[in-house]
Amino acid sequence: AGVDRVNHNLNTSENYHPQICSTHTFHDRVATIKNVQAAGITTCCGGILGMGESDEDIIDLAYSLRELEVTSVPLNFLIPIPGTPLAEIRELNPRRCLRILCLFRFLLPAQEIRIAGGREVHLKSLQPLGLYPANSIFIGDYLTTPGQAAYNDFQMIEDAGFVLETADNQAVVDADTGTRECSAVAQLK
């Protein structure tokens, strides 16, 4: 037992961070990641896209993650929630999301790119294309919004020609029953 990975997202670029967060600085977040790495723990560090940031901010976020040499990069796509400060932002569409995923894959070729919250809403019927630049997807519900049924994710992954794996490289199929088991992340092989 113990901790082998810590999630602590940068969320956005250094330039755009003050528009999103007032309780701590971008440098505070970077320092936390560096402290985790110094303790010998791998890092899961990504962002939330579609919060009003510019294309340059998205590129800067990717370069910041590259410079930090994080292990895993979860990419969330904002789902605007009524009553929140970002409720009216509607910047994402399937094509833009795919371009963002490809950009992160290009700039972070060795990192695990993970499609997280908002993929069902913003990628829509193009979700299977997102599997190509990504290594894995989050399955199930997210912090504030529901995800699609695990069965649909498993089918989408299989239809795209990928094999499901667990973190320990075991297939996500119960050998006794032949049923698929749900895990928080579907790793693509």
As for how many domains the chain has, the answer is: 1
Tokens 């833009």 correspond to 96
Domain of 73?
5-188
- Cα–Cα distance for residue pair 167/125, rounded to 1 Å: 27
Q: What is the pLDDT of residues 37-60, one digit of tens each?
A: 999 999 999 999 999 999 999 999
What is the average pLDDT across 141-170?
80
pLDDT at 185 over 70: no
Structure confidence at residue 186 (pLDDT): 53
Looking at the chain, the whole-number percentage of residues with pLDDT higher than 90 is 69
Give the separation between CA 167 and CA 51, rounded to whole angstroms: 31
Highest mean pLDDT: which of 58-67, 142-151, 173-182? 58-67
- pLDDT-derived band of residue 103, with 50, 70 and 90 as boundaries? very high
pLDDT of residue 33: 98
Q: State percent of the chain over pLDDT 70.
A: 87
For the whole model, what pTM was predicted?
Answer: 0.86
Give the whole-angstrom CA distance, residue 76 versus residue 43: 16
Residue 157 CA, chain-centre distance (Å), reads 16
Q: Judge whether residue 183 has pLDDT over 60.
A: no
User: Does 141 have pLDDT greater than 90?
Assistant: no
Mean predicted lDDT score pLDDT of the chain: 88
| Residue 10 contacts residue 76 (beta carbons within 8 Å) | no
Length of the chain: 189
- Domain containing residue 70: CATH number: 3.20.20.70
Sign (positive or negative) of CA dihedral 79, 137, 181, 154:
positive
Q: Tokens in use for 58? A: 């998205």
Q: Give me the amino acid identity at 21.
A: C
Residue type, 63: Y
pLDDT in tens, 3-29: 999 999 999 999 999 999 999 999 999
**With contact defined as beta carbons under 8 Å apart, do 124 and 152 qualify?**
no
Lowest-pLDDT range of 3-12, 20-29, 139-148, 164-173? 164-173
